Amino acid sequence: MRPESLLVPTPAGLCCPVGGFHIDPLRPVARAVITHAHSDHARAGHGAVLATAETLDLMRLRYGEAFAGSVQAVPYGERLTIDGVTVSLHPAGHVLGSAQVRVEKDGLVIVASGDYKDVHDPTCAPFELVPCHVFISEATFGLPVFRHGDAAAEVEKLIRSTRLFPERAHLLGAYTLGKAQRLIALLRAAGWERPIHLHGAVETITSYYAGRMELGDLRPVRDAAKAEFAGAIVLCPPSALGDRWSRRFPDPIACFASGWMRIRARARQRGVELPLVVSDHCDWDGLTRVIPATGAEEIWLTHGAEEALVHWCGTKGLRAKPLHLVGYGDEEEVETIEAATAGTDQDGTAAVSDQNATAAGEPAGGPA
């Protein structure tokens, strides 16, 4: 069997015609395998959904109980046969529950890795290297300029800033699923024992994480008096940094944790005073480390700077091509667009009701 017959890029996403399923479909389909719960990969309205238990839980939190016709939770490493195609899920190291999808038919193995990173993250299982013939890789940060460095050192910068400016609130913009909780865990690992305050839009997913790991003293912003925010760290969605909500805090410092913060112009453009380079995607070094290590002779690239990686693969003697799948991107960008269209009020309640609107059947927004 040729790889192009086993997994086929279609307008609805990557399709396995033999197995009759799609991976991270963009439109409602009969059978979906979902890599992780970020909204550009996990959408509501499919017939049957196969994913890790955590991904299914997170989808339920975002979209409501009726997000799919039926669901099947699959533990990492367990092999299933779907119409003669062997399918298994393996840790992607991206966010809690995130998985690479290994698809095998007649000895041919393709791994669709979804979003992934191969560096330490205390909030999810570490990335597993899965040998394969064809490796499908994201290319979100697929340019040599993107080097994320050490996330713990970035968090130290934030803690140093709270010591330098003990009167000022530090508003930490972070993507609400995965990034926010990873930052909390990194802050705790760095010895930050004070309460961490949460914007309304960060609460639900953080309490799900907190049920599975120790995240310390977490408090909703709305329950705290203004004086408590002096020198405090307040987690919020990136979109909240510049809006009315941020004005309640004493002389706030806008901090933003993202792989894009490597680009100084991007930080300035968003009014970020303290940029922190922390990403849940591989940087250039990670991508160029993982791709050859899979042993794949052929690399298919998607969402991001595909051309640079196609070229790099060529220099290493690897066949590579872009898949030209449209509709996936960096989840931070997706959320910024979602929030901009929904608006947020003072407690982030609009962001929560936006999630309810999605549960009522509206498709989740994708990147423009």
Kindly list the residues in this chain that would bind Zn ion in the complex (CB under 5 A). 38, 115, 331
Comparing CB distances to Zn ion, the nearer of 154 and 331 is 331
Nearest residue to 146 via CA among 285, 19, 345, 35:
285
The radius of gyration of the chain from alpha carbons, rounded to an integer in Å, stands at 20
Q: Give the shortest CB-105-to-Zn ion separation in angstroms.
A: 27
Identify which of residues 206 and 246 has a Cβ nearer to Zn ion in the complex.
206
**How many other CB atoms are found less than 10 A from the CB of residue 149?**
14
57 vs 115, which CB is nearer to Zn ion?
115
Query: How far is residue 360's CA from residue 149's CA, in Å, rounded to a whole number?
Result: 41
CB of 211 to Zn ion, least distance (A): 21
CB of 138 to Zn ion, least distance (A): 8
**N-term to C-term CA, the chain:** 36
**Contact predicate 33/349, CB 8 Å:** no
Nearer to Zn ion, 38 or 102 (CB): 38
Taking the least distance from each CB to Zn ion, the nearer of 331 and 335 is: 331
Residue 357 vs residues 41, 67, 149, 354, 361: alpha-carbon distances, Å: 18, 12, 38, 5, 7
| Pairing mode of beta strands 233-236, 274-276 | unpaired
CB of 140 to Zn ion, least distance (A): 9
Say what the alpha-carbon torsion angle 237, 92, 188, 163 is, to the nearest 10 degrees: -50
Q: Which is nearer to Zn ion, 138 or 154 (CB)?
A: 138
Q: Choose between 161 and 279: whose C-beta lies nearer to Zn ion.
A: 279
- Give the pairing of strands 134-139 and 108-112: parallel
We find the least distance from the C-beta atom of residue 293 to Zn ion, in angstroms, to be 21
Q: Minimum Å distance from CB 95 to Zn ion? A: 6
Q: What is the DSSP string of 4-37?
A: HHHSEEETTEEEETTTTEEES-SS--SEEE-S--
In angstroms, give the least distance from the CB of 318 to Zn ion: 24
Q: Which residues, including other chains, have CB under 8 Å from residue 332's CB and lie 6 or more apart?
A: 175, 179, 238, 258, 260
Q: How far is the CB of 80 from Zn ion (least distance, A)?
A: 23
Measured from the CB atom, the residue of 172 and 177 that comes closer to Zn ion is: 177
At 91 the three-state DSSP class reads: strand
